[in-house]
Amino acid sequence: MDKEQRPVRRQGKSASRGFTLIEVLIAITLLAVIVTVGFAVVRTGFNSWNAGEARFQVAEQRAAGIGFLRNYLANALPLPSTTTDNKPVFSFIGGTQSLQFLAFPPDHVAHGMIYQFALSFENGALRVAMQPFAKPLLTPLLQPERVVIMEGIRKAGFAYFGRDRGKPGKSIWHNEWQQPQLPDLIGIHIEDNAGVLDLQIAPRRGGGL
């Protein structure tokens, strides 16, 4: 007697089946790589943006500081006088790290008044203090607070070009200046995050701002 034949069902490759553990692990690994690369790209772009913004701020502050120095040092006033015992008092006193002089302030501060300015390199910054001028000339500033006009300075100094008192008719660079007349040039050397800056400013002997 013939055995009953039953139909045989074959499951083809197209039949649905679940993911294997290896496939899941590969997918997770690929996703982690994509996320890591994407985060690195975003972080690099963010850092580049911050670096560019920081460079812009440094350049902007530097330009403002240069403008301040050019405007006010070029308009320093020569107002020599004497004390009661006939000792000379100078309106311009300069050293390698500090400088005091007289000039007119901006009109919005006090129109027509003469102010005493004090510049100094302190703790990696160029600072300025100012107060209304009152005799005797260049008395200690009453305002202790100094406003930062440039920062991030690694090295800096002032120098002064003018007549050599020991050799009449000859001009040289001086580290200090205490003479009745203003120097012919004021040299300013600054090394900061933006590079090296060398300025030479010629006082106009009291010209207006």
Instruction: Provide, rounded to the nearest whole percent, the portion of the chain with pLDDT above 70.
Output: 68
Residue 35 lies in a domain: no
Residue 194 lies in a domain: yes
Per-residue model confidence as pLDDT tens digits over 88-131:
677 889 999 999 998 887 665 556 678 889 999 999 999 998 88
Could you tell me if residue 112 is inside a domain? yes
Cβ(131)–Cβ(141) under 8 Å?
yes
Radius of gyration of the chain (CA): 36
Residue 14 placed within a domain: no
| Number of domains present in the structure of the chain | 1
Distance CA 133, CA 91 (A): 10
Q: Is residue 8 part of a domain?
A: no
Q: Is position 33 within any domain? A: no
Peptide bond into 136 cis (omega under 30): yes
Question: In a 3-state reduction of DSSP, which class is residue 190?
Answer: strand
Task: Flag whether 173 is in a domain.
Answer: yes
* CB 100, CB 77: distance < 8 Å: no
In a domain, 209, yes or no: no
Domain extent for 180: 67-201
